[in-house]
């Protein structure tokens, strides 16, 4: 079991990292602005669920493969970039679909299952997250606290919950701030185009990333 001091230090680090500018929180904000709080919360749940995969891989030591193998890292980052480019394409071709102009109608038409899965795979297919787990988690694991894999699982749970709470709060705030902006149909169209550009930028950055 992790000790009390380790818990609070790791929690503070997790919250700070969740708040740091990056593709996950940027996507949550975009969804909060364009599709509302429920969509942002659904996405936040999907993104946070991806942490389970990374925690499991790190705890089992499988993530070391991606840290030591250039080929494995390359394959995963290209898969992640390709997925982001696909999302960019989807956002662009649907740019004329006005969202949240008719709140009731738009909420009924959203596919929350798809949004959840999208968030999940965005997180899982990011090799930087795997390397981040390998770099951060060992700093908070202490041999005297017992079974290392169990400690890793506990740290993963703390990170997942803290990220989920941060993303939900950010998504709700984005929704509240957009209530007046989305009354303008042109803003809705521009938001979809901006979303597409964000995906492309993140995809390029991921494809060009180095270990």
* 210 pLDDT more than 60: yes
15-19, 38-42, 141-145, 201-205 — which one is most confidently predicted on average? 38-42
Domain span including residue 174? 38-207
pLDDT at 103: 44
**Does the residue 85 lie in any domain?**
yes
Query: What CA–CA distance (Å, rounded) separates 2 from 144?
Result: 9
Average pLDDT, the chain: 76
* 20 pLDDT more than 50: yes
| Whether 163 contacts 14, CB under 8 Å | yes
| 182 against 178, higher pLDDT | 178
Confidence of residue 142 (pLDDT cuts 50, 70, 90): confident
**Does the residue 5 lie in any domain?**
no
- pTM higher than 0.85: no
Half-sphere exposure of 175 (CA within 13 A, CB side): 18
**Does the residue 106 lie in any domain?**
yes
Query: What CA–CA distance (Å, rounded) separates 93 from 80?
Result: 20
pLDDT at 65: 65
**Does the residue 49 lie in any domain?**
yes
22-55 per-position pLDDT tens digit: 778 888 988 888 788 899 999 999 999 999 998 8
pLDDT (mean) for 83-95: 72
**Does the residue 168 lie in any domain?**
yes
Query: What CA–CA distance (Å, rounded) separates 56 from 52?
Result: 6
How many beta carbons lie within 10 A of that of residue 208, not counting itself?
9
* 195 pLDDT more than 70: no
**Does the residue 9 lie in any domain?**
no
**Gyration radius of the chain over CA positions:** 18
| 192 against 140, higher pLDDT | 140
H helices of the chain, in order, are: 4-19, 23-35, 37-60, 64-68, 70-93, 103-109, 112-124, 127-136, 148-178, 185-207
pLDDT (mean) for 88-104: 58
**Which residue is it, tokens 């202490």?**
142
pLDDT at 80: 66
**Does the residue 57 lie in any domain?**
yes
End-to-end CA distance of the chain: 31
Domain tally, the chain: 1
Q: Determine what percent of the chain is predicted with pLDDT higher than 90.
A: 15
pLDDT at 44: 95
Query: What CA–CA distance (Å, rounded) separates 69 from 24?
Result: 25
Query: What CA–CA distance (Å, rounded) separates 48 from 161?
Result: 7
pLDDT at 107: 46
Query: What CA–CA distance (Å, rounded) separates 32 from 26?
Result: 10
pLDDT at 15: 84
**Does the residue 104 lie in any domain?**
yes
pLDDT at 125: 82
Q: Is 170 helix (H, G, I), strand (E, B) or coil?
A: helix
């Amino acid at each position: 079991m992790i000790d009390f001091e380790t818990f609070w230090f790791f929690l503070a680090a997790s919250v700070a990292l969740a708040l740091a500018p990056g593709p996950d929180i940027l996507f949550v904000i975009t969804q909060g602005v364009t599709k509302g709080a429920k969509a942002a919360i659904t996405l936040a749940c999907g993104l946070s669920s991806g942490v389970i995969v990374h925690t499991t891989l790190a705890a089992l030591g499988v993530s070391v493969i991606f840290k030591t193998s250039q080929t494995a890292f390359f394959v995963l980052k290209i898969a992640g970039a390709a997925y982001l480019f696909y999302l960019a394409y989807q956002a662009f071709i649907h740019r004329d679909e006005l969202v949240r102009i008719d709140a009731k109608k738009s909420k009924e038409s959203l596919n929350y299952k798809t949004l959840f899965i999208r968030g999940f795979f965005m997180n899982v297919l990011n090799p930087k997250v795997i390397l981040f787990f390998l770099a951060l988690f060992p700093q908070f694991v202490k041999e005297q606290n017992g079974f290392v894999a169990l400690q890793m699982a506990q740290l993963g749970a703390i990170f997942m919950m803290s990220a989920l709470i941060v993303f939900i709060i950010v998504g709700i705030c984005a929704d509240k701030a957009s209530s007046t902006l989305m009354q303008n149909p042109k803003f809705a169209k521009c938001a979809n185009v901006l979303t597409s550009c964000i995906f492309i930028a993140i995809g390029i950055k991921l494809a060009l990333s180095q270990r």
